[in-house]
Structure 1
Amino acid sequence: MIVDKLENASLYVNMNKEMERAFEFLKNTDIQKLSDGKYEIDSDNVYASVQSYETKDKSEKKFESHEKYIDIQYIVKGKEFIEWSPIQNLSVEEAYSDEKDVIFYKDGKLSSKINLEDNYFCIFFPNDGHKPGCTFDKPMNIKKVVLKIKIS
């Protein structure tokens, strides 16, 4: 798991061959003008999901992880926290869905709170359980982009 500001994205582009495309999309697209939905960047290798929602109490959210994709979760506008835990510390609540590339988990014993606001991102790898969309200090409307990068 990595947390940083978009201005430092160049530090991470060599981690995966598609990472650079994902960060270019964030830097070169006027995301404020995009409607919610899926935007292909490189077929199913890299795509963006623009989302708008109201944060919820962490008790209403579930930990998740993905096997086929790395997530970059970027806050365009607003504040939320994402709870993080290594999947080894979590127990499966809903088995892996190949179609949706997601496993859901019950809360575990060990987790960390990641506070995010405008222009911050988190990178989550397959071993990173994450519970996004949690209320930071009060329920808030969020605009966010989740970039999916296929693991090669």
Structure 2
Amino acid sequence: MILGNIHHLDLVPYLPAKIKQSIEYIKDNVNQNTPVGRYDIDGDNLFFMLSDNTLRLINEANPEYHHKYIDVQIVLEGQEGMAICTLPPHTKMLEDKLADNDIAFIQTPKEETMLVLQPNDFIVFFPNEVHKPLCAIGNKITAVRKIVIKIALDYL
């Protein structure tokens, strides 16, 4: 897991080149007028999804993880609570869609902790890193505009 700000990539010089390039692509090509949707950069190897979302209470969602893709999540507008766990998936599997959709949902681990992402913050989740996006901060249900870049692990 790597946390940073898209305007201060110099603070994360260890960021893998393709992850850094994908963030720079977003900075150069996405603005407030970009419509919601999926955008291919290099087919299924590298693409992003731009979405407008409503946050949810932390107990209304289940943590997720992936096997084939790296997630780079960038907040564009609003604030987003991101619940994370630094342990590998170890709780009960609730829904396994890894084979078809590269996502699995698990029971919330007791070791979960919450981060707050501000506009232009990003977080990188590598395969098997447990995360619960779109969590309300202080139980306030608000809107967030965000990007999720998907990078195939074998594309790095």
The answer to whether TM tops 0.5 is yes
Superposition RMSD in Å: 1.6
Q: One-letter code of the match for 1:32?
A: Q
TM-score, L = length of structure 1: 0.91
Partner-residue secondary structure (3-state), 2:109: coil
Report % sequence identity.
27
Q: d(CA) in 2 for partners of 1:53 and 1:81?
A: 12
2:111 paired residue number: 110
Q: d(CA) in 1 for partners of 2:26 and 2:14?
A: 13
TM-score, L = length of structure 2: 0.89
Q: d(CA) in 1 for partners of 2:49 and 2:8?
A: 21
Q: One-letter code of the match for 1:19?
A: I
Structural mapping, 1:69-108, within 5 Å: 69-85=69-85, 86-108=87-109
The gaps in structure 1 that reach 5 residues or longer are none
1:7 paired residue number: 7
Tell me the matched-pair count.
Answer: 151
Matched, 1:66 2:75: no
Matched, 1:134 2:108: no
Where does structure 1 differ by over 3 angstroms across 4 or more consecutive aligned residues?
A: none
Matched, 1:123 2:124: yes
Q: d(CA) in 2 for partners of 1:90 and 1:49?
A: 28
Q: One-letter code of the match for 2:129?
A: D
What is the Cα deviation at residue 21 of structure 1? 3.1
CA contact (8 A) 1:12 1:19 kept: no
2:49 paired residue number: 49
What is the Cα deviation at residue 6 of structure 1? 0.8
Q: d(CA) in 2 for partners of 1:76 and 1:45?
A: 23
The CA deviation string for residues 41-93 of structure 1, in whole angstroms up to 9 with x for no partner, is: 11111101001011010111110011110000000000111100133443311
The CA deviation string for residues 120-152 of structure 1, in whole angstroms up to 9 with x for no partner, is: 011001121100000013111110000001101
What is the Cα deviation at residue 13 of structure 1? 6.8
The gaps in structure 2 that reach 5 residues or longer are none
What is the Cα deviation at residue 14 of structure 1? 4.9
2:151 paired residue number: 149
